Amino acid sequence: MNPTRNEDGAGGHTTPGQPKKPNMFGLLIAGLIITFIFNLVAAKMAAGNKLQVEYGQFIQMIETGLVRQVQIDDQQIAFTLKEGLDQNTLREILRLPEDMEGPGERRLLNGQVYYTGLLEDPALTERLLKNSVAFSKPIIQPNPIRDFISGWIFPLLIFYGIYFFIMRKFSGLGGMGGMMNLGKSKAKFYGMEKNTGVSFNDVAGQDEAKESLVELVDFLHNPEKYRQIGARQPKGALLVGPPGTGKTLLAKAVAGEAKVPFFSLSGSEFVEMFVGVGASRVRDLFAEAAKHAPCIVFIDEIDAIGKSRDSQMGGNDEREQTLNQLLSEMDGFDSSRGILILAATNRPEILDKALLRPGRFDRRIIVEKPDLPGREAILAVHAGKIPLGAGVDLNEISRSTSGATGADLANMVNEAALRAVRMGRSEVLQEDLMEAVEIVVAGKEKKDRVLSPREKRMVAFHEVGHALVSALQKNAQPIRKITIVPRTMGSLGYTMQTPDEERYLMTRSELLAQICTLLAGRAAEELEFGEASTGASNDIERATKLARNMVTQYGMSEKFGMMGLESLSSQYLDGRSVFTASDASNAAVDVEISRIINQCHGQALELLRANREKLVSLAEYLCIRETINGVQFMEKLAS
**Residue pLDDT, tens place only, 402-456:** 888 999 999 999 999 999 999 999 999 999 999 999 888 888 887 777 788 899 9
pLDDT of residue 609: 94
pLDDT of residue 335: 66
Q: Which residues have CB under 8 Å from 393's CB, separation 6+?
A: 430
Q: pTM for the full model?
A: 0.67
H or E element that contains 219 = helix 207-221
Question: Is residue 459 pLDDT above 60, yes or no?
Answer: yes
pLDDT of residue 517: 94
CB 118 within 8 A of CB 72: yes
**Residue pLDDT, tens place only, 273-305:** 555 677 888 888 888 888 888 888 899 889 888
Lowest mean pLDDT among 153-167, 475-489, 507-521, 560-574: 153-167
In this structure, CATH architecture of domain 372-442: Orthogonal Bundle (1.10)
**What is the residue-averaged pLDDT of the chain?**
79
Alpha carbon distance 32, 28 (integer Å): 6
Alpha carbon distance 397, 559 (integer Å): 41
pLDDT of residue 144: 62
Alpha carbon distance 433, 419 (integer Å): 9
The CATH number of 188-366, from 3.40.50.300, 3.40.50.720, 3.30.565.10, 3.40.920.10, is: 3.40.50.300
Question: Is residue 586 pLDDT above 90, yes or no?
Answer: no
**Residue pLDDT, tens place only, 53-112:** 888 888 888 887 778 788 887 778 888 887 766 667 776 777 666 554 544 454 455 557
**Residue pLDDT, tens place only, 180-196:** 454 455 555 544 445 66
**Residue pLDDT, tens place only, 219-247:** 888 888 888 888 888 888 999 999 989 89
H or E element that contains 256 = helix 247-258
pLDDT of residue 167: 58
- Three-state helix/strand/coil letters over 397-426: HHHCCCCCCHHHHHHHHHHHHHHHHHCCCC
Q: Model confidence at 121, in pLDDT bands (50, 70, 90)?
A: confident
* Catalytic residue (choose from 269, 301, 463, 526): 463
Query: Nearest Cα to 543, choosing from 614, 603, 586?
Result: 603
Question: Is residue 311 pLDDT above 60, yes or no?
Answer: no
Domain 453-638 falls in which CATH fold? Answer: Methane Monooxygenase Hydroxylase; Chain G, domain 1 (1.20.58)
pLDDT of residue 221: 81
pLDDT of residue 175: 39
Within 13 Å of residue 133, how many CA atoms lie on the same side as its CB? 28
Q: What is the mean pLDDT of residues 368-375?
A: 90
Question: Is residue 142 pLDDT above 60, yes or no?
Answer: no
Lowest mean pLDDT among 214-228, 608-622, 625-639: 214-228
Strand partners, 76: 117
Give the ranges where 297-429 is alpha helix by DSSP (H): 317-332, 353-356, 372-383, 394-399, 406-422
Q: What is the mean pLDDT of residues 548-573?
A: 86
Q: What angle do CA 305, 310, 313 make, to 5 degrees?
A: 105
Strand partners, 81: 67
Alpha carbon distance 604, 531 (integer Å): 16
Question: Is residue 350 pLDDT above 90, yes or no?
Answer: no
Of 173 and 486, more confident: 486
Query: Quick one: 214 exposed, middle or buried, by C-beta within 10 A (0-12, 13-18, 19+)?
Result: middle
Question: Is residue 389 pLDDT above 60, yes or no?
Answer: yes
Known active-site residue 101: no
Strand partners, 340: 296
Domain 53-142 falls in which CATH fold? Answer: 3.30.720
Q: Which pairing describes strands 50-52 and 627-629: parallel, antiparallel, or unpaired?
A: unpaired
Of 531 and 477, more confident: 531
Q: Model confidence at 35, in pLDDT bands (50, 70, 90)?
A: low
Q: What is the mean pLDDT of residues 363-380?
A: 91
Domain ranges of the chain: 24-41+145-180, 53-142, 188-366, 372-442, 453-638
pLDDT of residue 290: 85
pLDDT of residue 316: 62
Lowest mean pLDDT among 22-36, 215-229, 337-351, 466-480: 22-36
